[in-house]
Amino acid sequence: MKPTLQAVADAVGVSRSTVSNAYARPDQLSTALRRRILETAKAIGYPGPNPTARSLRRGFVGSIGVLFTSRLSYAFTDPFAVRFLAGVSEAAERHGVSLLLVPIPSDFEDARRAVENASVDSFCVYCVGDEAWALDAINARGLPFVTTAPRDDAGPDDRYVGIDERAAARGVAAHVASLGHRRVALLGDAVLPDAPAGPLRLSGVDQVPHPTTRGRLAGFADAFAEVGVAWSDLTVLTATGNDRRAAAAAVAGLFDRPDPPTAVLACSDVLALGVLDALGEDADRPDVSVTGFDDIAEAAAVGLTTVRQPAEEKGRISAELLLDPPADPTAGHVLLPTALVVRTSTRPVPRS
Amino acid sequence: MKPTLQAVADAVGVSRSTVSNAYARPDQLSTALRRRILETAKAIGYPGPNPTARSLRRGFVGSIGVLFTSRLSYAFTDPFAVRFLAGVSEAAERHGVSLLLVPIPSDFEDARRAVENASVDSFCVYCVGDEAWALDAINARGLPFVTTAPRDDAGPDDRYVGIDERAAARGVAAHVASLGHRRVALLGDAVLPDAPAGPLRLSGVDQVPHPTTRGRLAGFADAFAEVGVAWSDLTVLTATGNDRRAAAAAVAGLFDRPDPPTAVLACSDVLALGVLDALGEDADRPDVSVTGFDDIAEAAAVGLTTVRQPAEEKGRISAELLLDPPADPTAGHVLLPTALVVRTSTRPVPRS
DNA sequence: ATCCAGTACTGAATCGATCCAGAAGGGGGA
DNA sequence: TCCCCCTTCTGGATCGATTCAGTACTGGAT
């Protein structure tokens, strides 16, 4: 059995409180006694105050929970998520706080329990798909949290760090439209949650449940509406995952149809890269323009036109909002700037 | 004030224990009562058992600490580290355990304290440079841990997941030697901890403190010794960080010297990429072969010859060793296979 | 009617610290 | 000399649950 604080106190012949003070409040006792306590502690192998007991008594833990509403191991394969994490950890580092990465089990009850059992002071929720259940659980615990996706049911005091999804998407789309593209396809992950990969029949963008995807699609549509292309003339494709393979699967056969799209606008760079993969494998290589979203490192390497959003910054500010909350509670709503990055993956419509 | 377990007990009119059982041991009470308790709990807004209190009483936390012996935010910029983390999180996911990422402050005392204060059941130590102080702190707490780098003071029961650094390094070096290279430079990060970037005077590989770097350099040297190139004929370079810029700085001016090396063998892909950066900027572009180590995604993209080691696997097995310890304590020493991956960055010596 | 084995629930002890009101002792000022 | 203050240290209450030995009750077998 590891010695406890009490054991040290007994060994030195002082009270428990004094030993505690030796660790946490050096000014509360003479330096001589403090040294003696620390030495004895080392001598009998006392590992220092038990972190759990300390947290219980103090009422806070010193760590912020990071929640990916998808498989945790997946998060590390998503370049944007990784950069976001880098930002979060930078802030955590500065504040001397740890990050608890909580894996979400697929079973709903277990998932809720995972959130309830996390020893943290607050939550940073990185949204992929539906996260309402998680926010409920967090709210039930009364913990502060910040989200990175717009929410339909957000209150004015909710903390949120994001971008103007719609305006940003409209930006790239306008660029594509200006190149003359009129037959275009829009590609998102889980546009309709349980739909199979491929084209979708959507009466409007309102049907899309996930706010991020909805915002981007709406932005795309805005730009094309302005040049006279109606929503019903747009091809909306869904992928069954935010990864290259899923994207390639989603556009399979798309260019074999009559009047194929001359451009594909994807809701993320990863999806766009998947589209390029699919095009690359195609022997005939139709000249299709492709755009992404996020501006991950690989986008630059392959010349992908995309929307840049400050990933690390997003993480950093999210964490900062939790660690150092603004006095004004309504200031917890942060919109970050975005920029259109034009590269070689978008070209004027080929005339044929 | 949030209601406690006691509050629920009072509200329902049962004992604290029974409420506790309602959550943790459903078989200990009638389903009717259990439902009544759970409903009342929800009604009065009880957030469920406090995780910290539970951990204290139960004696374990349900999370494993992940320690990068460098800046945490840096870890997310290192592709190999990220893949390692993906592996760790995969195992954590399977076992329903969380990951606590602990940032290490630069101040030594603070750093030790960070390890002492982490609420975890075990530690996964990803080694970069010196980690002895961290292992000391972990040992003092009596927590199990696993390292990913060979240690000089490792005991037989210590858990370790790694590769045969020396043999693997020898492999690439032999390949380079077989292409005819005899004037070569070896590049590592912090070969001598406080040395400035650039060439080093080392009487032997024993002077290198960090075991991983030492192993790889030794392996490089082995291969060249076999073709008659002595240690003293090798140029050893140190970088002041494991990143591209640091590597570029380390080789600055290297090729302007008389009899410049015809090949650079780096201790990591990131460093090798930095060397390629430096060569790319050089207008004269001397024909220099470059090798890396790790086989990160980008290595394939630029055609870097390297040593592949299973990154995710390393993380996965490390975590598994902690979460599901082998019955035989000496089985905690795992060596993973590596493979030489020959690409275009290594070419025969240009004859001039 | 008696005994026994479950089942359902209770109470006190416990996990390992922190906090706070207060006691003891020493020194300085009036 | 007396009083007050300051420094140093103590004891008990407390954080919020879990655990386990033990009590009360129920129903079936003898």
Pick B76's closest partner by Cβ from A2, A82, A118: A82
pLDDT in tens, A234-270: 999 999 999 999 999 999 999 988 899 999 999 999 9
pLDDT for res B95: 95
pLDDT in tens, A17-57: 999 999 999 999 999 999 999 999 999 999 999 999 999 99
Q: Which residues contact A233 (CB under 8 A, 6 or more apart)?
A: A182, A183, A224
Residues pairing with A341 in the sheet? A306
Q: Where in chain B is the domain with CATH 1.10.260.40?
A: 5-58
Cβ of A89 and B82 within 8 Å? no
Determine the Cα–Cα distance for residues A42 and A33; give it in Å rounded to an integer.
14
Q: Which pair of structure tokens corresponds to residue B337?
A: 């296979």
Q: How far is the CA of A82 from the C1' of C28 (A)?
A: 63
β A339-341/B333-336 pair status: unpaired
pLDDT for res B281: 77
Q: Is the CB of residue B108 less than 8 Å away from at least one CB of chain A?
A: no
DSSP B311-332: HHHHHHHHHHHHHS--SSGGGG
Q: Is A185 helix (H, G, I), strand (E, B) or coil?
A: strand
Domain A5-58 CATH class label: mainly alpha
Low-confidence ranges of chain B (pLDDT < 70): 128-129, 283-284, 352
pLDDT for res A205: 96
Residue A54 buriedness (CB in 10 A; 0-12 / 13-18 / 19+): buried
Strands of chain B (E only): list them.
63-68, 98-102, 122-126, 145-147, 159-163, 184-189, 198-200, 235-239, 263-266, 289-291, 306-308, 333-336, 339-341
pLDDT in tens, B127-171: 766 778 889 899 999 999 999 988 877 777 789 999 999 999 999
Q: Is the CB of residue A301 less than 8 Å away from at least one CB of chain B?
A: yes
Q: Is the CB of residue A221 less than 8 Å away from at least one CB of chain B?
A: no
Closest Cα in chain A, distance from residue B39 (Å): 14
CATH superfamily, with its number, for domain B165-309:
Response regulator (3.40.50.2300)
Helix (H) / strand (E) element for A291: namely: strand A289-291
Closest Cα in chain A, distance from residue B180 (Å): 32
Number of neighbours of residue B240 by Cβ within 10 angstroms: 18
Backbone angles phi, psi at B63, to 5 degrees: -150, 150
Helix (H) / strand (E) element for B31: namely: helix B31-44
Tell if B50 CB is < 7 Å from nucleic strand C.
Answer: no
Cβ of B103 and A119 within 8 Å? no
Closest Cα in chain B, distance from residue A101 (Å): 5
pLDDT for res A233: 96
DSSP B193-243: TTPPSEEE--S-GGG--SHHHHHHHHHHHHHHHHTT--GGGSEEEEESSSS
β B122-126/B63-68 pair status: parallel
Determine the Cα–Cα distance for residues B119 and B122; give it in Å rounded to an integer.
9
Q: Which residues contact A176 (CB under 8 A, 6 or more apart)?
A: A184, A223, A263, A265, A289, A291, A346
Determine the Cα–Cα distance for residues B199 and B187; give it in Å rounded to an integer.
9
Q: Is the dihedral of CA A77, A80, A85, A87 positive or negative?
A: positive
pLDDT for res B215: 96
Cβ of B61 and A52 within 8 Å? yes
A–B: how many Cβ contacts below 8 A? 139
Which residues of the protein have their beta carbon within 7 Å of strand D?
Answer: A 13-18, 21, 27-30, 33, 53, 56-57, 59; B 2, 4-6, 16-17, 20-21, 23-25, 48-50, 53-54, 56-58
Q: Specify whether domain A63-163+311-336 bears CATH 3.40.50.2300.
A: yes
Tell if A17 CB is < 7 Å from nucleic strand C.
Answer: yes
The alpha carbon of residue B180 and the mean position of all alpha carbons in its chain are separated, in whole angstroms, by 34
pLDDT for res B295: 97
Q: Which residues contact A52 (CB under 8 A, 6 or more apart)?
A: A119, B52, B55, B56, B61, B119
Closest nucleotide over all strands to A59 (CA to C1') = D15
Q: Is the CB of residue B103 less than 8 Å away from at least one CB of chain A?
A: yes
Closest Cα in chain B, distance from residue A286 (Å): 24
Closest Cα in chain A, distance from residue B349 (Å): 29
Share of chain A above pLDDT 90, in %: 81
With a cut of 90, say whether residue A282 has pLDDT above it: no
Q: Where in chain A is the domain with CATH 3.40.50.2300?
A: 63-163+311-336, 165-309
With a cut of 70, say whether residue A284 has pLDDT above it: no
Cβ of A45 and B140 within 8 Å? yes
Residues pairing with A235 in the sheet? A185
Q: Is the CB of residue B135 less than 8 Å away from at least one CB of chain A?
A: no
pLDDT for res A281: 77
β B198-200/B235-239 pair status: antiparallel
CA distances from A60 to A51, A52, A212, B157 (A): 11, 10, 33, 36
With a cut of 80, say whether residue A106 has pLDDT above it: yes
Average pLDDT of A182-196? 95
CA distances from B340 to B167, B222, B264, B293, B305 (A): 11, 16, 16, 9, 8
Q: What is the mean pLDDT of chain A?
A: 93
Share of chain A above pLDDT 70, in %: 98
Number of H-type helices and E-type strands within chain B: 14, 13
Strand C contact residues in chain A (39-78), C-beta within 7 Å: 48-50, 53-54, 56-58
pLDDT in tens, A288-336: 999 999 999 999 999 999 999 999 999 999 999 999 999 887 888 999 9
Cβ of A73 and B62 within 8 Å? no
Q: Which of A56, A124, A139, A320 to mutate to test the interface with B (most CBs of B within 10 A)?
A: A56
Q: Is the CB of residue A43 less than 8 Å away from at least one CB of chain B?
A: no
Average pLDDT of A125-147? 87
Determine the Cα–Cα distance for residues A15 and A13; give it in Å rounded to an integer.
7
Contact predicate A293/A162, CB 8 Å: no
